[in-house]
């Protein structure tokens, strides 16, 4: 804690102001993702607060913001629905199983950190990273399009022009203010200025409160349309059971609906009330695994991106443990869980928030908004928050990818486009895994073509094969084609000074080659093998004791062996 205070005071002003900006941006995002998951907005806000505060204090990356995310919400909505159908005897089964799954998810993430799996983010190639940020920027941008709707229909006429104008004004302030001064976060100034214009100018436009109310009414309308009482409601509206339009039904519900807004209280401890059976665990585990994987991939890739922007280094393993702990707390205190948020992290870093204090301020600010300032936060125009997010999209997208696409290998260009598309079509986990697999296959294929063999006949009549390039599963066929067992002389020497046997497939290929030469009654010697390869071969068969040459007077070999 002392270390946190010391580091936090170095950039306190920027961290606090940036944290307030992020807190404002977190409100509609958390609410929107809660509706995506088909749960109450307060659960999304609780989740954003708890994940945000825990990872800000204990996480592996100062300045990175965590909260409720759409990538997790998309998975949660299916789980909540299936839980209600599979366990009808459990009261409010969807929510109870969500909280229990978050606890299991958190345990998986903690184990990933304990076993130091966070380091595997280093295996993600740069083209995958570029595809990731491009795809995520597109997803963030597309998610803002929904803000231009009222109910199920898009804004039109004056409402649309007002919305576009306020969004453009927000973006203009954020673009122009840093050219004049960087002492205050442009995002916060833009939100305050646009809010003041709307409030004092009495401009009719959607606000945070009206956004929440609209979502609540839409949810009620959809529930009514699938309920058994729909005909009775039609009768109340029309006097008969003829079809009613969505707009008429929306207006009918809106007349009697009372929105609670974002007011709430402190989260309360509660153990999820689910049956502790194998069926319940078997149901939760696949969802917990998917949520844990998506959460860690998004968090670790965001961490790596912030590392590059700030030219500092975070701890992936520490972040895994912090994310896991935060999701366990969410499970016991009624939040929807979450992970790192690239959009809010970019807002934070670009606004000057690079320390842990910025994340702490954002989380505490969000809680203060929920408890005490909901009336004022509810007045903030959605247009101002959309403008901030559009600027995040512009800052997140790797525009340089258009410039470098014609200059990089076609395989890397394909990976960038593939990951971007899959992020938009499916989700981050599928996109990144697919990108890594394609990159690995391309790498293996390219290395498989690099194996060479220089052949020469020595003074004593023996034939020397000097191998160049890695011997592994991909290059075995090309390696075997280099040898002519039937026509080679009685003594053959295979030199691996410029090569390395990389895997078990390579060792197996070498074993089979020696078998062929010995079956043909010919002597074969292996030179300059690495120490680990020698040990494995000698362990697999005693005859390799005489096949492998160990007494080699070659200074090059010992330099390579030491490396």
Q: Which residue segments constitute the domains of the chain, with CATH numbers given?
A: 10-87+114-264+284-404 (no CATH), 449-562 (3.30.750.24)
Length of the chain: 563
Higher pLDDT, 25 or 459: 459
Q: Grade residue 224 by pLDDT with cuts at 50, 70 and 90.
A: confident
- Strand-pair partners of 525: 493
**pLDDT score of 9:** 55
Do 131 and 415 touch, CB atoms closer than 8 A? yes
Q: Grade residue 558 by pLDDT with cuts at 50, 70 and 90.
A: very low
Mean pLDDT of 321-337: 94
Q: How far is CA 314 from the centre of its chain?
A: 16
**pLDDT score of 161:** 93
Q: Grade residue 4 by pLDDT with cuts at 50, 70 and 90.
A: low
**pLDDT score of 36:** 67
**pLDDT score of 323:** 95
Residue 357's nearest CA partner among 67, 62, 66, 3 is 62
Q: Grade residue 356 by pLDDT with cuts at 50, 70 and 90.
A: very high
- Per-residue pLDDT of 178-194, as tens digits, reads 888 877 777 778 888 99
> Is the pLDDT assigned to residue 169 strictly greater than 90?
yes
Using CB atoms within 10 A of its CB, is residue 392 exposed (0-12), middle (13-18) or buried (19+)?
buried
User: How does 107-125 read in b/e, with b if 16+ C-beta sit within 10 Å?
Assistant: bbbbebbeeebbeebeebb
Out of 7-11, 39-43, 498-502, 546-550, pick the least confident: 7-11
**pLDDT score of 549:** 81
Using CB atoms within 10 A of its CB, is residue 404 exposed (0-12), middle (13-18) or buried (19+)?
middle
Task: Return the structure tokens found at 234.
Answer: 């039609």
The mean predicted confidence, pLDDT, of the chain is 84
Helix ranges restricted to H, 334-381? 342-350, 356-371, 374-377
Q: Grade residue 172 by pLDDT with cuts at 50, 70 and 90.
A: very high
> Residues near 221 by Cβ (< 8 Å), separated by ≥ 6?
151, 246, 249, 250, 253
Neighbour tally for 5: CB within 10 Å: 10
Rounded-to-integer distance, Cα 61 and Cα 46, Å: 22
Say if strands 149-150 and 66-67 run parallel, antiparallel, or are unpaired.
Answer: unpaired
> Residues near 130 by Cβ (< 8 Å), separated by ≥ 6?
398, 401, 416, 419
Residue 187's nearest CA partner among 16, 385, 37, 327 is 385
Instruction: Provide, rounded to the nearest whole percent, the portion of the chain with pLDDT above 70.
Output: 93
Rounded-to-integer distance, Cα 517 and Cα 513, Å: 6
- Per-residue pLDDT of 260-301, as tens digits, reads 766 667 888 999 989 989 999 999 998 998 889 888 888 888
Residue found by looking up tokens 């009808």 in the block: 88
**pLDDT score of 444:** 87
Residue 326's nearest CA partner among 75, 24, 94, 46 is 46
Could you give the angle at the alpha carbon of 114 between the alpha carbons of 109 and 119, nearest 5°?
Answer: 85
Beta-strand runs (E) in 126-251: 149-150, 153-154
Rounded-to-integer distance, Cα 290 and Cα 267, Å: 26
> Is the pLDDT assigned to residue 420 strictly greater than 70?
yes
Out of 81-85, 358-362, 520-524, pick the least confident: 81-85
Do 434 and 465 touch, CB atoms closer than 8 A? no
Q: Grade residue 552 by pLDDT with cuts at 50, 70 and 90.
A: low
- Per-residue pLDDT of 28-40, as tens digits, reads 777 767 766 778 7
Rounded-to-integer distance, Cα 139 and Cα 423, Å: 8
Strongest mean pLDDT among 301-315, 321-335, 347-361, 508-522: 321-335
DSSP codes joined into one string, 250-295: HHHHHHH----TT--------------SHHHHHHHHHHHHHHHHHH
Strongest mean pLDDT among 15-24, 153-162, 205-214, 316-325: 316-325
**pLDDT score of 559:** 40
Instruction: Report helix angle 382-396 to 12-36, nearest 10.
Output: 100
Calculate the dihedral angle through the C-alpha atoms of 363, 368, 371, 374, rounding to the nearest 10 degrees.
Answer: -100
Mean pLDDT of 516-533: 87
Mean pLDDT of 129-154: 80
Mean pLDDT of 217-238: 81
């Amino acid at each position: 804690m002392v270390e946190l205070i010391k580091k936090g005071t170095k950039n306190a002003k920027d961290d606090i102001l940036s944290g307030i900006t992020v807190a404002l941006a977190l409100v509609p995002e958390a609410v929107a993702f809660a509706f995506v998951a088909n749960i109450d907005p307060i659960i999304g806000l609780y989740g954003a607060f708890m994940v945000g505060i825990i990872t800000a204090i204990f996480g592996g990356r100062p300045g990175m913001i965590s909260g409720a995310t759409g990538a997790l919400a998309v998975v949660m909505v299916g789980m909540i629905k299936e839980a209600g159908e599979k366990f009808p005897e459990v009261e409010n089964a969807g929510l109870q199983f969500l909280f229990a799954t978050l606890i299991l998810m958190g345990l998986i993430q903690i184990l990933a950190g304990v076993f130091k799996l966070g380091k595997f983010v280093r295996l993600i190639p740069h083209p995958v990273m570029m595809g990731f940020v491009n795809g995520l920027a597109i997803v963030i941008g597309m998610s803002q399009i929904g803000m231009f709707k009222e109910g199920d229909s898009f804004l039109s006429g004056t409402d649309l022009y007002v919305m576009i104008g306020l969004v453009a004004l927000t973006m203009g302030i954020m673009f122009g203010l840093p050219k004049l001064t960087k002492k205050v976060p442009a995002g916060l100034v833009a939100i305050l200025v646009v809010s003041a214009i709307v409030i004092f100018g009495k401009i009719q436009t959607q606000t945070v409160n009206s956004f929440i109310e609209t979502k609540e009414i839409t949810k009620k309308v959809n529930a009514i349309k699938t309920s058994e009482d729909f005909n009775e409601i039609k009768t109340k509206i029309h006097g008969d059971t003829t079809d009613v339009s969505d707009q008429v039904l929306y207006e009918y519900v809106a007349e009697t609906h009372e929105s609670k807004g974002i007011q709430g209280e402190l989260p309360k401890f509660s153990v999820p009330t689910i049956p502790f059976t194998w069926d319940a665990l078997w149901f939760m585990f696949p969802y917990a695994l998917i949520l844990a994987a998506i959460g860690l991939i998004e968090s670790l890739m965001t961490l790596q991106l912030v590392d590059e922007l700030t030219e500092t280094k975070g701890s992936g393993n520490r972040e895994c443990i912090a994310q896991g702990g935060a999701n366990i707390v969410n499970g016991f205190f009624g939040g929807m869980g979450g992970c790192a948020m690239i959009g809010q992290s970019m807002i934070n870093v670009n606004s000057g928030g690079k320390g842990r204090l910025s994340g702490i301020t954002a989380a505490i600010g969000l809680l203060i908004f929920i408890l005490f300032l909901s009336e004022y936060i509810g007045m903030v125009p959605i247009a101002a928050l959309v403008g901030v997010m559009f600027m995040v999209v512009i800052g997140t997208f790797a525009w340089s990818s258009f410039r470098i696409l014609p200059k990089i290998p076609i395989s890397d260009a394909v990976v960038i486009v593939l990951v971007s598309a899959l992020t938009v079509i499916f989700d981050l986990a599928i996109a990144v895994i697919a990108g890594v697999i394609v990159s690995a296959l391309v790498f293996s294929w390219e290395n498989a073509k690099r194996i060479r063999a220089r052949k020469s006949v020595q003074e004593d009549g023996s034939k020397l094969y000097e191998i160049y390039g890695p011997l592994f599963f991909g290059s075995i066929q090309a390696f075997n084609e280099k040898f002519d067992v039937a026509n080679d002389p009685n003594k053959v020497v295979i030199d691996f000074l410029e090569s390395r046997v990389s895997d078990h497939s390579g060792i197996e290929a070498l074993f089979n080659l020696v078998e062929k030469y010995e079956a043909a009654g010919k002597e074969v010697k292996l030179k300059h093998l690495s120490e680990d390869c020698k040990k494995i071969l000698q362990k697999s068969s005693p005859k390799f004791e005489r096949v492998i040459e160990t007494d080699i007077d070659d200074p090059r070999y010992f330099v390579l062996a030491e490396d």
